[in-house]
Amino acid sequence: MTDTMVNPLQDRPSPAQPHERPSAGRILSVGVRKFFLFLPLALLTLWTLAPFFITLSISFKRRSEVFSNPTSLPTDPTWAPYIEVFEREGFQGAFMNSVIVGIGTTVLTLALAVPAAYAFVRFRFRGRHLLLLFTLLPRLVPSIGIMIPLYTMAASLGLLDRRITLVLVYSGMLLPLAVWLLVGFFQKIPRELEEAASLDGCSTVQRFRYIILPLTFPALLTIAVLAFREAWNEFTLVLVLTTTPGKRTLPYELFLMQGGSGIENYPAEAAFTIITILPFILLYSRFEKYITAGITTGSVK
């Protein structure tokens, strides 16, 4: 029996192959793929930002320039439209009403949605899934469809032309969405954290205060921003539930500006719009990462 010859170089790793450069066709294919991926994003960004920049440009123009050069940048920028808005009778009152109603809606929505969502997730009771589904049904009804019932109820209770009425109505409109987002977020929190706290002697209130609330900060901030925005921008119900100038909010005041001064006063209307949306731009740019985390986490259940 003959011995098999063993090649000493057989088990050695082969020398590293030189890095292969991608071919021109592959580079072209990757470039075309990226182009078609980013093209919709670029079009969506342009579609979103174009109206804002056009409004911003008009807000620095004079009335005559708006009609002579409607699409160009202002040749002689002026702060006169903004000064006209700030000096307008009723603007400061409407601004304060919007702030009060917005803060009240935010606080009440969080005060009701947080314990409700926690109860849906942590407590076991019959029909909770069906009840959670029913909480979303009011969100499907458009605001114009509940105008007459809300007006009738407010008139019968003597709550017309009051800020508290707007706070209650807006909170009721936001509550279904807030509960659903918070339910999805609470389900991501492990039960073991609360069980460990229970072994250490923490009560339900203490667990909720020191464990749940700190972990749900992104979701709470998301709900707060959504609630404040809803109260800040809503117009239809303000038109129905308020009758005196001292109780109206900014959307109603903008409507009166269009009806009182005529549609030709585009610079003042554009300046009013910029002043209205500027707080949300600053707020969202500051808390964007928390808001995105709250929406994406709460939407997955």
Q: Give the per-residue pLDDT at 88.
A: 86
For residue 167, CA distances in Å to 97, 149, 185 come to: 11, 17, 25
For residue 91, CA distances in Å to 5, 128, 257 come to: 98, 46, 10
Domains of the chain, by residue range, sit at: 26-58, 89-298
Q: Give the per-residue pLDDT at 101.
A: 94
Q: Give the per-residue pLDDT at 260.
A: 54
Q: Give the per-residue pLDDT at 263.
A: 54
Residue whose entry in the numeric block shows the structure tokens 């294919």? 29
Check: CB of residue 221 under 8 Å from CB of residue 109: no
Check: CB of residue 272 under 8 Å from CB of residue 94: no
Cα 288–chain centre separation = 10
Name every residue whose Cβ is closer than 8 Å to that of residue 108 and which is 6 or more positions away in sequence. 167, 168, 171
Query: Over its length of 301 residues, how does the chain's per-residue pLDDT go in tens digits?
Result: 444 454 544 545 555 455 556 566 666 666 677 777 788 888 888 888 888 888 888 889 888 788 777 667 888 888 989 998 988 888 888 999 999 999 999 999 999 999 888 888 888 777 777 777 777 777 777 777 888 888 899 999 888 889 999 999 999 888 888 888 888 888 888 888 877 877 877 777 888 788 888 888 888 888 888 899 889 988 888 988 988 878 889 988 888 887 555 556 888 888 998 988 888 788 777 766 666 655 555 444 4
Predicted confidence (pLDDT) per residue in 83-136, tens digit = 989 888 888 889 999 999 999 999 999 999 998 888 888 887 777 777 777 777
Q: Which CATH number fits domain 89-298: 3.40.109.40, 1.10.1660.10, 3.40.630.30, 1.10.3720.10?
A: 1.10.3720.10
Q: Is the four-CA dihedral 19, 22, 23, 24 of positive or negative sign?
A: negative
Cα 108–chain centre separation = 17
Q: Give the per-residue pLDDT at 219.
A: 84
Helix (H) or strand (E) holding 232: helix 217-233
